[in-house]
Structure 1
Amino acid sequence: MDFTISPALDDLRARIAAFVAANVMPLEADPASYDAHENIRADLLSSLRAKAKAEGLWCLQLKPENGGLGVGRMGMAVCYGEMNRSIFGPVVFNSAAPDDGNMMVLEACGTPEQKARWLAPIAEGKVRSAFAMTEPHPGGGSDPGMIATRAEKQADGSYRIYGRKWFITGAQEAAHFIVVARTSDDERTGLTAFLFHRGQPGWRIVRRIPIMGPEEHGGHCELEFEGLHIPAEDVLLGEGKGLRMTQIRLGPARLTHCMRWLGLAERCVAIARDYAAVRTGFGVKLADRESVQLMLGKAAMGIEIGRLLTMKAAFELDQGRLARKEVSMAKIQAANTLHQAADMAIQINGARGYSKDTVLEWIYRYARQARLVDGADEVHQMVLSRFLDKEGDGFWRWPVAAS
């Protein structure tokens, strides 16, 4: 891999960084900027989105024909960290979960008609979306093979869906949904993905689940399906291809989490360094203490390891590969790096870091979910162990160029 980036991509990165510093970060210090769930207030978000669009900083992840900038996965890795130097950043650029992953999978799997109906409104920022896969016990979580929600095919080729989902991010404010349900008991072809609109009858939000950390817009909800009717044209990718769809969606979506988390980790280090440079105790600045230098150096190294793993996975995705092994490694590293960076920054800032005078406590509560969402650390470690069993010493092989 060549880690150099083009001048055009570096210019885009710099413009995003400048936009965040000038327009987004200043809002974090004002309690009035927050909604009831500790995210950016809707009217502020709307005005910032309009400004980001006007400055050509909108929807990096999609191809130009679908309303995006077409920077590819490696370009996203460069830019997403700059967005998430602010806790409010990614949603401003239409690059936040779950819309981010939903747009990418609709672009990859949708028919032209589905893209026009379901993708375009999300890409334009007119609606929000949700992805409904995870279920309460004994249904599917990290293992989609356990999915119990079922879709019963009707005589006219349509479907009716019955079952329950939970921890569905963004559901309370979403208009467009993707739901994964079981259409047969076949291990490989038993799942199917469906598209539906919030106004369709036959389903309901049971509750918005309270969580420890600040919430994405629309929260994390429990849904019940009581015969939701899905026309045949709203099947995504085809009947029995739901598992394939989840593989296409989850790899890039997990990696975009890594990109954003590393930006937040960099923000934690920046806050810690700024405070260490001015805070004096017992006649010595914190920045001059070896113990503090060790903490900062370790955090910086962890972030750089995360960046390298994330960029390698992005490269693999840009080559058209699923990059399961590479995404799992990046996901483990980035999730733990964010948690450790937030903890380190709070420790250096002392009581100030634990208070709401900085965004560190917000990031710390948010960071704990990183080791759970889109597959817990242990799930990804098992994935890596299986690759190791399969590949042996080839696990560490270097790619060889064609002669």
Structure 2
Amino acid sequence: MFTPCPTERSKAIADRVEAFVRDVVAPYERDPRNAGHGPTEDLVHELRAKAREAGVMTPHILPDGSHLTQLETAAVLKRSALSPLGPVAVNTMAPDEGNMYLLGKVGTPEQKRRFLDKLVSGEARSAFFMTEPAEDGGAGSDPSMLQTIAVQQGDHWVINGRKMFITGAQGASVGIVMARTGGDDKVQSTMFLVDLPDPAIRIERVLDTIDNSMPGGHALIVIDNLRVPASQVLGEVNEGFRYAQVRLSPARLSHCMRWHGCATRAHEIATDYATRRKAFGKLLIDHEGVGFMLAENLIDLQQAALMIDWCAGVLDGGVLGTTESSMAKVAVSEAVYRVADRCVQVMGGSGVSRDSIVEQVFREVRAFRIYDGPTEVHKWSLAKMIKRTALSGEASHG
């Protein structure tokens, strides 16, 4: 269930990626190295070696370094996630996809050579250090609550703080650390590029979370007197919040693309089950209670695909897309969760067993309703926009 590829080049890439994920990656889903806090480094390297051999490594970034349009990227990333391991294998996963996008937009030529190139090649992974522990009063959905502090000392910055839910920190080679800078009268932030591992960045523990598709899991981090050269400031000092928006709108949408692919795969598996399994004298799909759930899946998947493509078109038009990406994030995350939930229900006991990938897809998309902004935060943001628009209209007509 995919909308048509917008260009011939995106169709060719998407078709190659889909064939690779279905034929090569999917059999690894039961590999014992794919468990716990995500696929092991050994499994990641093995999958990526096969992706290079098949010519599908980092498929959304072309050999000349240019990026597919967002609409083309949507066609490719949906296919890459027909297995939860697919984005890991072909290097379209979070947080690397978003970090590569940001580095490509903001990084200096030297920063791209040093940090971006090895991410694009799939030789290295990265982590984005923004979210902080709630018990510290730190930043989560509200980045203005940032507690991690960076202080300039000569030609270096010294950073101290704690970070929470940092995806992929364990095993990452590149980090982007967001820290508070500037005066106390106004909360400002700056992004810093760091080489990992670094003794000043300590993993307290890797959290046990509902999802497990991302290498390295999600870690609680302590940053203790981390020294970063001024040359490794990403972009300009005190512009971290602006750059976060540059990254977050496309990254939100990329999440939508990937989980749409996973939900599509779950629907395929549930449909296959319902058209083979019999109960009460007929196939499950012939019982309206089951057949209607699969019909509703088709509707949700198509609506979600159209929402993704609509938002992608907005971003391709050069708009920041904060409002549109919030709308897409809410609509798609809720839709694919309904799809995954129905797939579990259709399959009964098999749906809650780890013998099927449907169980994992359900867990992953449940987490997606929180990651990159909970549904309720996006709705609150949209409500504020509605109020501003309405009141400004009243003023202009007053």
Same fold, TM-score > 0.5, yes or no: yes
**Alpha-carbon offset, residue 376 of structure 1:** 0.5
Instruction: Render the CA deviation track for 1:2-58: whole Å, top value 9, x for unaligned.
Output: 976222321221111111111011222x34352443x44443432332232233322
Instruction: Report how far residue 172 of structure 1 moved.
Output: 0.7
Alignment of 1:76-155 (within 5 A): 76-137=73-134, 138-154=137-153
Q: Report the secondary structure of 2:170's partner residue.
A: helix
2:34 counterpart of 1:34? yes
Question: Which region of structure 1 is more displaced relative to structure 2, 170-179 or 208-217?
Answer: 208-217
Match for residue 9 of structure 1? 10
Which stretch shifts more, 362-371 or 270-279? Answer: 362-371
Residue 400 of structure 1: aligned partner: none
| Higher RCO (CA 8 Å, separation ≥ 6 residues) | 2
Spell out the pairing of 1:385-396 with structure 2 (5 A cutoff): 385-392=383-390
Q: How does 1:4-403 map to 2 (within 5 A)?
A: 5-28=6-29, 30-37=30-37, 39-62=38-61, 64-66=63-65, 70-137=67-134, 138-154=137-153, 156-185=154-183, 190-392=188-390
Kept after mapping to 2: 8 A contact 1:343/1:364: yes
Which residue identity lines up with residue 139 of structure 1 in the other structure?
A: G
- Give me the whole-angstrom Cα distance separating, in 2, the residues matched to 1:300 and 1:285: 19
What SS is found at the alignment partner of 1:213?
A: coil
RMSD: 2.1
Residue 364 of structure 1 and its aligned partner are, at CA, apart by 1.6
Worse-superposed segment, 196-205 or 302-311 = 196-205
Deviations 1:74-126 (A, max 9, x none): 11111111111112101111110111111100000000011011111111122
Tell me the TM-score normalized by structure 1: 0.91
Cα pair 1:188 1:243 within 8 Å, conserved: no
**1:278 alignment partner, SS class:** coil
- Give the Å deviation of 1:65: 3.4
| 1:270-289 deviation per Cα after TM superposition (whole angstroms, max 9, x unaligned) | 11110110111111211112
Q: Measured at CA, do residues 261 and 267 of structure 1 come closer, stay the same or move farther in structure 2, by a change above 3 Å?
A: same
Is the CA contact 1:180–1:194 (under 8 Å) kept in the aligned structure 2?
yes
CA deviation string 1:294-342 (max 9, x = no partner) = 2111111111111111111111111221111111111112211222112
In structure 2, runs of 5+ residues without a counterpart are: 394-398
Report the Cα distance in structure 2 between the residues aligned to 1:35 and 1:270, rounded to whole angstroms: 23
Asked if 2 retains the 8 angstrom alpha-carbon contact of 1:262 and 1:303, the reply is: yes
Task: Answer whether contact 1:103 1:122 (CA < 8 A) is retained.
Answer: yes
The answer as to whether partners of 1:62 and 1:104 remain within 8 angstroms in 2 is: no
In the alignment, is the contact (CA less than 8 A) between 1:265 and 1:337 conserved in 2? no
2:77·2:254 contact (CA, 8 Å) conserved in 1?
yes
| Structure 1, gaps ≥5 residues long | 396-403
SS at match of 1:127: coil
SS at match of 1:171: coil
* Contact 1:61 1:100 (C-alpha < 8 Å) held by counterparts: no
Deviation at 1:190, TM superposition (A): 1.1
- 2:210 is paired with a residue whose SS is coil
C-alpha displacement at 1:152, in angstroms?
0.7
Percent of aligned positions with the same letter in both sequences? Answer: 38
